[in-house]
Amino acid sequence: MAKIYITGASSGLGWYMALEFAKRGHQLALSARRLDKLNELAELIKTQSDVSVHCYALDVCDEAAQQAILQQAKNDLAGLDIIIANAGIGESAPIGKGSFDSVRATIEVNVIGAFATLHHGVALLREDGGGQLVAISSVAGERGLPGAADYCASKAALTSYTESLRLECWNENIDVTLLKPGYIDTPINQGAASRPFLVGPEDGAKALVDAIESKCKRRFIPSWPWFIVARFLRWLPGRLLAK
């Protein structure tokens, strides 16, 4: 079974992926800012399986802490096979409205935090001879949308970074997987005015874990209908999206 590290596991997709991975017998190292929620998740997992679960308090914006926690997770599990950059926030507002602090926070967590996970993660995997890196981006990264500029931009940045990483790892024993979820019913999107093609968190997590285990290069989650919708979205005339 694989040894898996997940950032942002205290809620949302990270929480449900951890449950799904544990159900399949994988060993886990979980990080998030809220250690109490991670411990709650670990206790829940222990009632359902006998896998090892290690929890770490981590703010992904702290790059030095990211490196240290990754090393600690590797030590605790005697190696890491899969590193998942999942931590993210979804606060957004129309450009020029509200506080710029929320924009800064989105970029720091979704971009700098995710980049740091992948940056230190690939170095660790290279030391050990290989493994898999996973980035949780979003369909929102396919195009800038009104009212969500910072979130869309953050996910577009993560998409490009991950695709560059894949090319840099092309001749190494390192798989790079980019996943782009649509609307999965988690707190990050529960305040959205519209959530088309919504799926439950358990089904969403199962699709994510299936994609990770398949070592695919890139996949929309769920694949249907988002691989069609995303393509259509890129070419949709702006006047149909404008507010």
pLDDT in tens, the chain (243 residues): 999 999 999 999 999 999 999 999 999 999 999 999 999 999 999 999 999 999 999 999 999 999 999 999 999 999 999 999 999 998 788 999 988 999 999 999 999 999 999 999 999 999 999 999 999 999 999 999 898 999 999 999 999 999 999 999 999 999 999 999 998 988 888 777 678 788 999 999 999 999 999 999 999 999 999 989 888 888 878 887 886
Place of tokens 């305040």: 191
pLDDT at site 188 = 80
Residue among 5, 22, 12 at smallest CA distance from 58? 5
Kindly give, in sequence order, each residue whose CB lies less than 8 Å from that of residue 186, ignoring residues fewer than 6 positions away.
11, 12, 13, 16, 201, 204
Q: Is 7 in a helix, a strand, or coil?
A: strand
pLDDT at site 18 = 98
Strand order in the sheet with 3-7: 53-57, 27-32, 3-7, 82-85, 131-136, 174-181, 218-221
Residue 56 appears among annotated catalytic residues: no
Quote the Cα angle for 241-242-243, to 5°.
120
pLDDT at site 95 = 94
- Is residue 187 within 8 Å of residue 11, measured between CB atoms? yes
In one-letter notation, the amino acid at residue 47 is T
> For the residues of 89-101, what is the DSSP string, one character each?
------TTSS-HH
Q: Which CATH architecture has domain 3-240?
A: 3-Layer(aba) Sandwich (3.40)
pLDDT at site 101 = 95
pLDDT at site 156 = 97
- Is residue 133 within 8 Å of residue 77, measured between CB atoms? no
Pairwise CA distance, residues 89 & 109, whole Å:
7
At residue 176, what are phi and psi to the nearest 5 degrees? Answer: -120, 120
pLDDT at site 47 = 94
Residue among 188, 118, 212 at smallest CA distance from 160? 118
Bridge partners of 179, per DSSP, are 136, 219
- Report if pTM > 0.85: yes
At residue 24, what are phi and psi to the nearest 5 degrees? Answer: -90, 5
Domain boundaries, the chain: 3-240
pLDDT at site 212 = 98
pLDDT at site 163 = 98
The residue count of the chain comes to 243
pLDDT at site 191 = 72
Task: Give the active site residue among 5, 16, 56, 151.
Answer: 151
* 138 to 20, 76, 188: CA distances (angstroms): 20, 31, 12
